[in-house]
Structure 1
């Protein structure tokens, strides 16, 4: 990230990207984010929601609820959105973005700290994954009822909401109920230890691509659509494990470095306005919301389970980690003028 921000801040490099080059880079990053959210969902188990709450799910829910409540109470008083941005949409999406946890980044951080095998490390990883899944799931459902498209006629909004809701429901049903039969057949025809048949491989990839994109054809977000498809597709089996392994490797080698450069290229440092106190007020308010929300929620939930508060505070701080999707979501909102990069006083 630091290298990407440094290179993209160099004037000569920024000027070398014309409109077409910048558009091509945007399209590449958008496609990479679709793959990222698909793998993210594929690595999660949505059916854990239906089971009795365990220790890590209680910590995840407590941190989510406290952060969402704190964000909802504070952010409407600060002008983060553009002039025509709906305050309900802004507050909802911002609260879910702040309450979520970048599970990939958290896992890497805990591994680098060499606490992955400890009880606190395992608990933090599981709580982070569940927190990430719930924030993404609520955001995916909420997008249906709070679409980003602007309409002057309420009937057009209702038509879009109904259309997206039906197609998303169809996508989930196909991914959860019908895809296991197809993938089980492919897995049985290609047992472990034998080369994967090319025709079955192409058919499986095409099947997954159709499931990921069918809701996006009707106005739904392609990134959230791929997440919902991956979330409800079977995780077990040769095809799913192959997709997780190969796509994660592709993302690590190509997408993440390019993504960091794209983030730096999308940021205009001249609009930061460091001399204005309101700039720092908005920045540190967001950091304070995440820190207080995560720590307080985790401590309250953990004390009810009988944990000691110092370990709970450490888990809360770890759950503050944000991932690639949260960063992309913010930059994308700035790109489509849903949030403002500068402070405007409300008269």
Structure 2
């Protein structure tokens, strides 16, 4: 059951949600080459020659589709439509299917490999567009993309998905998120977002094949990716699910702590829901170790080298808000609500750019701003707008 927040906090989330989308409406569209700029700096100055990535464009599609669905405000429809049409025209591979990883500023293929992370976000965005508009073309595209991912990248013997493939879906060593020469052929990050995409697809196409894949992905997390002793995720693995590189990613752990239960919820399987909810709570407890006394969450820790990355990243703080709130909803433990709201207070104080809009990429432990991109291949409106949206939807009485 949702847990109501005080009116003033709901108003804050509502206003921040509107402000984020307004920023992207104003500064993201590329009036010369179409679509959206591949990079905009902290001074809101675009780089008109920057490559355009599928992750950015698919997350814009998701964000404005979700905004249209949630608010029913037609002002969000043009950006959602623009994102859909740009992906359809420039990112979809007309010869082999699937989406390119990136295109040039003018829309020509730049990196044409079929990274499963990129396919996942395209599927996630398309599915949300269908939720918002019921567009039949987008529905067909989403179904076809799902079938291609399963056909070419699914591992029927060991479960899970390959990290990336060449343009024609043949093997490749050109992986974006991992190192093929270290046999990092399956990653937590890609699997988390494949699961996220399949979950959203199931909402608009509750087909048995999607149900089967969601269950298989949850099995992969419970049996291979989440450590049963620490409840932290293993980040880089090989085909046989053996760990190839060690690190603790606090942001991904807290993000997964609510994305896994979300996936179980759409299947309406009470036994599975109970199992995954229990796992999610344990993951949230483990991720809380990444919090510092100022309310910020550290980025990463390597227990082998002892190196701790203490940057407070915009996306980590956004996921902390939702993950700890989800744990509060499941347990009713005040500590989780406190951690969620502390994450928001930290974000308001240190990450919101009150002068030029949107969020900074991150701050140091001393709260000095880092980075210089408001928009980039990875700096997108998805984590922060989604956090506000989740907090609003979850707190509705």
TM-score normalised by the chain length of structure 2:
0.24
Scaled by the length of structure 1, the TM-score of the pair is: 0.26
The structure with the greater share of residues assigned to strand is 2
Higher-RCO chain (CA-CA 8 Å, sequence separation at least 6): 1
Which structure shows the bigger proportion of residues in helix conformation? 1
